[in-house]
Structure 1
Amino acid sequence: MAAREQFFAGIPKIQYVPGAGPTDVMCFKHYNAEEILMGRTMEDWLRFSVCYWHSFCGTGADPFGFPTLHRRWNEGAPMESAKKRLYAAFEFFTKLGVKYYTFHDRDMSPEGATLEETNRNLDEMTDLALQLQNETGVKVLWVTCNLFAHPRYMNGAATNPDCHVLAYAGAQLKKGLDIAKKLGAENFVFWGGREGFLSILNTDVAAELKHMATFFRMAVKYKEKIGLKCQFLIEPKPKEPCKHQYDYDAMSVIGFLKHYGLENHFKLNIEPNHTTLAGHSYEHDVVVASALGMLGSVDSNTGSPDLGWDTDQFPMDVRNTTLVMKVIIEQGGLQPGGLNFDAKVRRESTELEDLFIAHIGAMDAFARGLRNAVRMIEEGVISGMVKERYSSFSHGLGQKVEDGSATLEDMEAFIKQNGEPRVTSGKQEKYESIFNHYI
């Protein structure tokens, strides 16, 4: 294989072309990386990242069908195809114009017969990745370890009932953290794909949660030992592949972290497709995590709630992107996190240009969401209405409630003096109508 084989020959670097027509899908119509909004470039607000596993390891296979995406970079012996994938990925990153990518350790290189061989494979591949990063300026948004796919993890990794398996997960994590430092990853994500249970009858929930907390403490300790400067993130998901996963949603994870005294070492990586699987609205966990100061990054995808499983589609709904970007702007941005496209082209979208079209469309959707959110915040109509709705907490008894000094005796005295409250309208339809004005 020639070191610089072209995998996307004929596809030039994607450009911003304002005013492009409806069928002009190989250019950005809204994403203008250098445009300044509220003192920052659009690129800095959005911090887009391409996910390695779906875009370059994905085959289009699903539980009901064989692979449909036959990529040249997946052909050949394991290490040969791994190198081709890496070259293809960096060609894609540079032509798309993104500055970040994300990967699992096992996306980057194949497992060997032993842990030592596996680690050598990973060292070889990350040497090449570091070279390509230095050549292109593309960085790692986050690294994660695949602690769910191998048969050894069928009963969990950090929560496995067999300590031997937990030890293997720890050894794999140690190497993953070393790789994160080597490549300058800005974040490290933990997704507990098998950390949960299928039957409560064979599960000691208290023991498993305790062991998972211990696993996280070991990660924090090793991160400090090696001087790894990155943000730790936990990604909630309610189900799939387990019937119930311990990281069910944002509140479940935050409660776990606070219970075990880990809240100062982790934030959350929210995936809206997972949020809807938990029965929440698209933006719910983004809002909750941000409100509690725990929103660290967003896996930017969407799903089809009517199907009931994790479809990992590219986010194209501008209403959803506007709501997400409003939260992100209001908390001052996502740095060092970002918007990672944990999404895959449909198995029916088989052409190489479809991979570009999907990312371009999603980036444009978020650019539109960003502009909408900026306009909404700058004009201040909705925020002013919300402030007025809660204005009773700015003085008198409300101020005492706000600062935590109110007592039940104060409540009683207030009611005796003021009587029954006058309930005011929530004006939901008015808020919705005003929000639609900005879309």
Structure 2
Amino acid sequence: MVNQMIASQFISLYDLCVLIRKVVGDNFPEYIWIVAEIANIKENQNGHCYLELVDKNEEKVIAQARATIWAYNYRSLSYKFEKATGETLKRGMKILFSAQVQYHEVYGLSLNIKDIDPTYSTGEMARKKRETVERLLRENLLELNKSLLLPLVPQRIAIISSPTAAGYGDFMTHLQENSYGYQFSLSLFQALMQGEEASFSIIAALQKIKKQIDLFDLVVIIRGGGSQIDLSCFDDYELSAEIARFPLPVVTGIGHERDDTVVDMVAHTKKKTPTAVADFLISGIRLFETQIEELQNSIIRYSDRLLENSRFSLQENLNNLNHALKNILSHTFSTYQLLAIRFCLASRKYFSDHQNRLSLILQKVNAVFRQKFQEAKNKHLLLEQFMYHFNPINLMKRGFSIARMNGNLLTSVKQAKSGQIITTQLLDGLILSKVEDKS
């Protein structure tokens, strides 16, 4: 009886779901505005967009729901959102949207999104960006990389970019085909330039560069060449702090026209496009070359003035000297003439005496050389005779022989042992003998 009463109070799961659908429909007849964070988002082949939405409290998920944007609505909504924010809808983004609350007996609770307010997401991104900048300011990091000195000649460049990015190709072409013929050493460190993993990928590239930092003058981070979406990674605190603390100057050319990203703010130098970065590097070398040319021209001008002044001074001194000499010579000509005659006579005698002495010395030197040469020649002849007589072939002609045992010269009876083979070399051949006895 009790079991029959309990059974009569049961309803089916379907009936329960129908009741829930009716309650939901009665209480949420219209679209309502909701704030949530996108935990996951994907678009199927039919163009429908499916989202997993969450609400968090201090990074802890406190609510979760599914949502759908049907293909008919999704294209126009995503275009409007992207145009207003410069971003696509993506995981981790907080959005304000208008949705109809629906409940299905099989699929459960879901939200049918009709509209999205991009101004809310723009404000949320701006808030996160502002908080990042304020944190960098508190930690004195915002101007840290800017305090580094740029290299005088920036030629060894570490590049962080995607190798398939059009901006990377433009950057390389612009540098390598510069009109001045400057040469650059360019090393690419590949990284993602957009999306959720971009900041981690760029940090990893920076850490690789840091391990070989002596090989580079500065670092450039370039993107460019395409859509201006998915740039929120460049507002990331961890990436911005890594660039701020980096021991080399960092130049950015992310290739966007909207407000500066936080990475642009902490970088040493910010340029709008990769080609602008290339122009910046070329101008750095050109500035150095111009300074060298100006210094060279200044040295030449100073040298010319110095030489001209010296020439004028020298000419004036020569004129004064010439005038003084004329005066002196006019009064002392006879005295100098007499001295000149005496000097000539004395010089002739001096050179004659020394010439005779030099001749005697040369004769002695020649005699000594002839004697030394003859002595050396005699020693050479004696050495040739010695080598001839002690040549092994000549010795064997005179009856001598060479005995070897195991390839080694046999110089003593003590080396021989009974039963061993001795090789005796004569002039015309070898004799093998076996040791039977020794005395």
* TM-score in terms of structure 1 length: 0.21
Instruction: Return the structure number with greater strand share.
Output: 2
* TM-score in terms of structure 2 length: 0.21
Say which structure, 1 or 2, has more relative contact order (CA 8 Å, 6+ apart): 1
Structure with bigger gyration radius: 2
